[in-house]
Structures are given as C-alpha cells and as structure tokens.
Structure 1
Amino acid sequence: MARLDGKVAVITGGAGGMGTAHAKRFVEEGAKVVIADLGRSNGADLAEKLGENAIFIELDVTDESSWKSLVEQTENTFGPIDVLVNNAGYISINSIEDTTYEEFKKTIAINQDSIFLGMKHVYPSMKKTKSGSIVNISSASGIAGGVSHSPYVAAKFAVRGLTKAAAAEFAPDNIRVNSVHPGNIRTPMTDQDSNRELIKAMIEDVPLKRLAEPEEITNLVLYLASDESSFSTAAEFIADGGLTQII
C-alpha cells in the first residue's frame, strides 16, 4: 500500500523547486495532488505530466478569496483535504538599512500571512474527516537567523509560532501541524555559474559539506504528511546538514 494512498494533498508553490519534487513524490505514493501556484504554465504542464491524480489550481497565497476558491475547487474535484503543504516562499537579499518597507511587507505576506490563510481555510475541510496533516515549510533561517535577509528571517521565525499555536488548536480534531526547516538546497539557481563562489562559501559552513537535494526535503515532508508520523505535532523538523545544530 502506498504511503499516501487515497489522501488529498494541496501543495503551494507546487509548480517549481521543492514544490515540484513534493508533487511528483506524493502522486507516486498514491495521493491526489493539487498543484497550487501563480505559475499557470508550469503548473498546468506538471499536472498533465503527473496524470489524472494531479490538477493545477491558480493560487495567490496572499489573497484570502483565492484560498477560498482553492478549497472549493479541491473539494469539488477530489473531496475534503487531508494534507496541506505550505511550501510557497520568497526571499530578497539586502541589509535592514537598505530594505524598503514595501519589500518587508511583501516578504511577510508571502512567507507568513500565507501560512495563516492556508491553515485558516483548509482547517474546515480537514475537520470533515476528523484527520489531517499540515506541513509548514519554514527554514534554517527560522531557527538561527542570518544576515542580509531580515524580513525572511522574521517570517520564518513566525512560522514556528503559528505552527505551534495551530497544532494546539487543531489537535482535538486529530489534525497535526508541524514545521520543516531546510538548509541550502540545490536548485537551477544554485547551479548557475554566477552563483558558484557564493554557494561554495555557503557549503563551507555546513558540517556535511554539501547542499541538500530537493528530494531529501521531500522525504521528510512525505513522512509528516503520512500516517507514519501520527504522534508528531507542534514539532520542528530540521534538515540543514547540521548547519544550525553544530557549533
């Protein structure tokens, strides 16, 4: 039996990066997957490749009406939602002094407000079956902070608090909420020649001396989405090669 057999999963930011890796593996493990993203072309193409157990729904994670529409469309197509992976994210690199307030608000909206909106509107759907798993993607920067991306750090720290508050609130309905804190991950951007020196310097701080592959984070997200993690809630799961844990 597949690990997510029969479960309905919504993955935000599912049209690229880690989200795509999550979507592919979830379908392989028997889930019916909603790829939720603003990237209509990439999302629709991915859903077509994954077959009848995947659909694309356009979602602005910062817009409440967009979330309401997503839940309605998902239930009409697949039924009540069992798994929510709040994966969509955004980062800008700048000092506090040079970060505009507009940029700060944008970063908070995408990385923090979206988590609140997703949990708020998916929770009633999960209550229909008295079970569910919400996986909020935070960051190693939400554990140990960092320089030159303060709005992102602020949002990712907030995700930890939102996760714990929701976990306590949703527990009577057998709905679990956990956060995942990835370190640096190999992506097409990190493989660009222009970024090689920066990535090399970043790797030097990682005890395992390498980047994570997206699939390594997917393995952790899959565990939390499945019934294998049935007694895990309000917890922080770190996958950063030891970056924040070894001094």
Structure 2
Amino acid sequence: MKAFSLEGKKAVITGGGSGIGLGIAKTFIEAGAQVLLIGRSENKLMEAKKSLGDNCSYKSFDVTDLDKIPSLVLETETNWGHIDILINCAGTHLKKNAIDTTDSEFLGVLNVHLMSVFALTREFAKSMIKRKQGSIILISSMTAVMGMKQVVAYSTAKTAIVGLMRSMVSELAVDNVRINTIAPGWIESPMLHKAIDHDLPRKTKILGRIPSGNFGEPEDIGYAALYLASDAGKYINGVFLPVDGGAAGGF
C-alpha cells in the first residue's frame, strides 16, 4: 500500500475549510501528507485546523484576488517549502436563471471557479516544472456533463476547466507534472444544501437521477483525489473522473 502513501508530501487545498475541500484534507492527512488550507473564512479554517491536527496549517486568502496570487505562491513556497500537490477546490454558488444572471454575477462565478484555478495552477506549476514533479487536481462538476437549470455561470466555468486541463497537460507532462480533474456528483456539503434545501422538486429530481439513491460524502472525493495525487496514479494524466454514484449514466 506504499503507493497510496503521501508521507513526506505537502499539499495546498483551496476551499479546504469545509465541504469537499475539508474531506480531501482529511484523507490526505490520513495518508501522511502535510496540508495547507486556503480559504476566505478564517473561522472555518480555524475549526478545520482543530479537527485535522498538527499536520494542518491554514492561510486566509481570497482566491479572486488574482493579482495577489503570485505573491501568495511565493510566500507559501518560501515559508513552507516546495509544494507537491495542488487541489483547486474553492467554490461559490449562484442559483439563477440565465436570462436573469447579470454580467457581473457571471464574471464573479468565473473568477472563483476558473480564473483563480488557472492563476494558481500556473504559479504553482512553475516550481513543479523545475523539480520535474507535481500533481495538480482540478474540481469540475456534473454540470460539465449534463445541462442543469439555474447554474449557467457555474456550468460554464466547470466545463471550461476540462479544456484548461487538457491544454496544460499537453505542455506540462514532459516535465512530469500531472493534471487531472474530478467531477463530483452531489456530495453532502454546505453548498449542496444551500442549493436544494428549499427546493424539494430539484432535490427529488437529483436523487431520482442517482442509481444508488443517496448523496456522496466529502471523503468519497478525498479518496479519489488521493489516488490521483499518489504514486498509485503516477501514469494517470489528463483524466476527467466523475465520482457521482452513477448519476452520469443513470436514468
């Protein structure tokens, strides 16, 4: 099982204070990694740190401050050493019909889910290229596979991530920097419940689409990320991996 170990590895996880990001952090720490959580809410990060223990650190930062990302990466690598794994998991949600979504709202979602992902990946990849080693994981969504109402900005960003991955894989693979994408299904998280708790028809439709009939857990995404980030996945590059309980193929 050594191939699945992350002993001696350092991972940065954006959006790691709750939900899927926190689930990934838990599984990585179980596998022996040191984890740095990045997020906007210092209170959430502090609570996450308490639950995760000594192998967890955190930094409060808004990933939409694109101009500050290069200095964030430089500070991280100066204070923490080289980064082996980057998980782009920061997210926000906008539930609105397309014709009612303003340009600024659309751009705001893209800044979180796409622009920050590109900027962070670009900056952390620079030192990974020099060391000829690194694993980067992007978090997409089932809305990149199937059309859903009221998530036009989110769906656009999560679909664009796949193109971003494929292009960067073609450039970075020669330097042994791998980039893969996980597409979570409907996973128990604050963002999911914000979207469905007051929309029973939507919740019913979603559950009806999942053959197993239940939502996933954050750790389900964590173990998928662990596989892709570890030596067990060293020959996996440019993969789009749904972790969805069969929803993509359900009827």
Report the TM-score when normalising by structure 2: 0.91
The equivalent of 1:138 in structure 2 is 140
The answer to whether the 8 A contact 2:19-2:188 is kept is no
Q: Matches of 1:151 and 1:93 in 2, distance apart?
A: 9
Unmatched 5+ stretches in structure 1: none
Q: Where does the alignment leave 5 or more consecutive residues of structure 2 unmatched? A: none
Match of 1:5 in 2: 7
Q: Is the 8 A contact 2:210 2:250 kept in 1?
A: no
Give the Cα–Cα distance (whole angstroms) in 2 for the partners of residues 206 and 52 of structure 1.
Answer: 37
Q: Which residue of the other structure, out of 190, 193, 199, is the alignment partner of 2:193? A: 190
- 2:246 alignment partner AA: G
Would you say how many aligned residue pairs link Structure 1 and Structure 2?
247
The alpha-carbon deviation at position 245 of structure 1 amounts to 2.4
Q: Which one-letter code corresponds to 2:86 in the other structure?
A: L
User: What is the alpha-carbon distance in structure 1 between the residues aligned to residue 133 and residue 155 of structure 2?
Assistant: 31
Shift of the 74–48 alpha-carbon distance from structure 1 to 2, 3 Å rule, reads farther
Q: Compute the RMSD of aligned alpha carbons.
A: 1.9
Aligned equivalents of 2:115 and 2:246: distance in 1? 28
Query: Does the CA contact (< 8 Å) of 1:22 and 1:218 recur in 2?
Result: yes
Counterpart amino acid of 2:99? Answer: E
Structure 1 residue identity aligned to 2:208: E
Contact 1:3 1:29 in 2 (8 A): yes
CA drift of 1:194 comes to 4.0
- Secondary structure of the residue aligned to 1:115 is helix
3-state DSSP of counterpart to 1:97 = helix
Matched, 1:68 2:88: no
2:212 equivalent to 1:212: no
C-alpha distance in structure 1 between counterparts of 2:161 and 2:115, whole Å: 9
Structure 1 or 2: larger helix share? 2
Please say if residues 12 and 36 of structure 1, whose CA atoms lie closer than 8 Å, have aligned partners that are also in contact: yes
Moved more, 61-70 or 137-146: 61-70
How far apart are residue 84 of structure 1 and its match?
0.5
How many Å separate the matches in 1 of 2:47 and 2:150?
Answer: 35
Greater length-normalized contact order (CA 8 Å, ≥ 6 residues apart)? 2
Corresponding letter in the other structure for 2:66: E
Distance 1:130 1:61, change over 3 A: same
Query: Is the Cα–Cα contact under 8 Å of residues 91 and 113 in structure 2 kept in the other structure?
Result: yes
Letter aligned with residue 137 of structure 2: V
Q: Percent identity at matched positions?
A: 35
